[in-house]
Structure 1
Amino acid sequence: MAVEPLSQDEIENRLRELPGWTLEDGRITRTYRLASHRAAAALVAHVAAVQDELNHHSDLTLGYRTVVLAVNTHDAGGAVTTRDFALAQRVEELAPAHGAR
């Protein structure tokens, strides 16, 4: 089933429901800060498992005490879709358990 790109207004409305997420270079992005590198790596592993479950993957960058996600939908020509927001919401739900802020 094809996923349709969201309009700019739809993206902005959905971003209001996800504090910390922004639209940058055609992708929704979020940087999480964690207490340690090990905590950041654990968050990356958890996010990777969710991405596999959803069959929807972001660019995921591990820093010393940071994790950065940037996501759009390749199947929709690199546009932002509901799939991206579903992934973002799942990450928002699991991040606090890792101490992410």
Structure 2
Amino acid sequence: MAPKALSPQEIEDALAELPGWAANGDRIERTYTFEGHLAAAAIVGQIARVQEALNHHADLTLSYNKLTVASSTHSAGGKVTELDLELAHRIEQIAAEHGVGSTKG
């Protein structure tokens, strides 16, 4: 059974618990800023392991010292589901271990 797409209000309520994350169309996104490129690249492998464990994969865009994570659920028509929120929470735990902040962008 495919995960249920969340309503805009459910997404907004959930994002209140995920500072730095925002709805962007049918996705949730956050950009993390690091000290340099190696630090930004290092977190990608950790996120990939979490994605494999959840069998849920976000789009990761790595630039010099920034990593943008964008997540939606393909099996729910590309909408945001609880899977996206669970992934976001787990990524937040990893990011906190790396001491990174967020930027809009």
Q: Do the two structures share a fold, i.e. TM-score over 0.5?
A: yes
Q: Which amino acid aligns with 1:3?
A: P
Residue 54 (1) aligns with residue 48 (2): no
| Percent identity (aligned) | 51
Q: TM-score, normalised by structure 1?
A: 0.96
Residue-by-residue CA offset, 1:34-88 (whole Å, 9 max, x unaligned): 0110000011111111101110000001110000000000000001000000000
TM-superposed deviation, 1:26: 1.0
Which ranges of structure 2 fall in alignment gaps of 5 or more residues?
none
Residues paired across the two proteins, number: 101
Range with bigger deviation, 1-10 or 71-80 = 1-10
RMSD (Å), alpha carbons? 0.8
Deviation above 4 Å: which 4+ runs of structure 1?
none
Which ranges of structure 1 fall in alignment gaps of 5 or more residues?
none
Counterparts of 2:17 and 2:96, CA distance in 1: 16
Q: TM-score, normalised by structure 2?
A: 0.93
Name the residue aligned to 2:36. 36
Name the residue aligned to 2:69. 69
